[in-house]
């Protein structure tokens, strides 16, 4: 989340105030109810609705702001799922005994590696804009998509 904010400041000459955005997760949550088998299809729905509902919605500043707002939504879901999954992995480790590989450590290491991968992937996406104004939305959009995918992945692990 901090890196998304830093990217927004780095790439956008003007800052969008959160109160200026017409952001709501309603369309995203409605989409996810309809597409339960493939919730990743809905990533970006709230950001797109925000861009359509906010004046100058397709300016790079508003695009970045709307995507950053949805990124926050996914980041919260990811953190809840990660904490729950880590707690259950810790219990599973205790039940399995000392000889079994630690699920908690494997989960932690996977998440740390994913964060590095996500950040590098999104930096690459932004670099394709050659320093132009599209780099900000490209970076934040990538963070939003990758974080949404990881949140959905971690939530799915709780069922199995």
Break the chain into its structural domains and give their ranges: 2-157
- How many angstroms separate the CA atoms of 48 and 20, rounded? 15
Q: How far apart are CA 23 and CA 44, in angstroms?
A: 12
List the structure tokens of 94. 């205790």
pLDDT tens for 30-57 read 999 998 888 999 999 999 999 999 988 8
- Interval 80-123: pLDDT, tens: 999 999 999 999 998 887 788 999 999 999 999 999 999 999 99
CA distance 72 to 49: 16
Compute the distance between CA of residue 53 and CA of residue 42 in angstroms, rounded to an integer: 18
> Which residues are CB-neighbours of 101 under 8 A, at least 6 positions away?
none
**138, two tokens:** 């490209």
Pair 25, 82: CB distance under 8 Å: no
């Amino acid at each position: 989340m901090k890196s998304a904010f830093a990217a927004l400041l780095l790439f956008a000459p003007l800052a969008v105030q959160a109160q200026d955005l017409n952001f709501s997760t309603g369309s995203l949550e409605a989409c996810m109810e309809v597409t339960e088998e493939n919730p990743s299809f809905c990533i970006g729905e709230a950001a797109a609705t925000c861009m359509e509902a906010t004046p100058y919605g397709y300016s790079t500043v508003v695009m970045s702001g709307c995507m950053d707002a949805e990124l926050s939504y996914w980041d919260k879901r990811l953190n809840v799922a990660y904490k729950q999954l880590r707690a259950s992995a810790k219990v599973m480790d205790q039940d399995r005994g000392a000889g079994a590989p630690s699920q908690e450590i494997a989960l932690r290491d996977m998440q740390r590696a994913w964060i590095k991968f996500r950040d590098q992937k999104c930096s690459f996406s932004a670099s394709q804009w050659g320093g132009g104004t599209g780099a900000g939305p490209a970076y934040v959009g990538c963070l939003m998509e990758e974080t949404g995918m990881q949140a959905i992945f971690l939530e799915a692990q709780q069922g199995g």
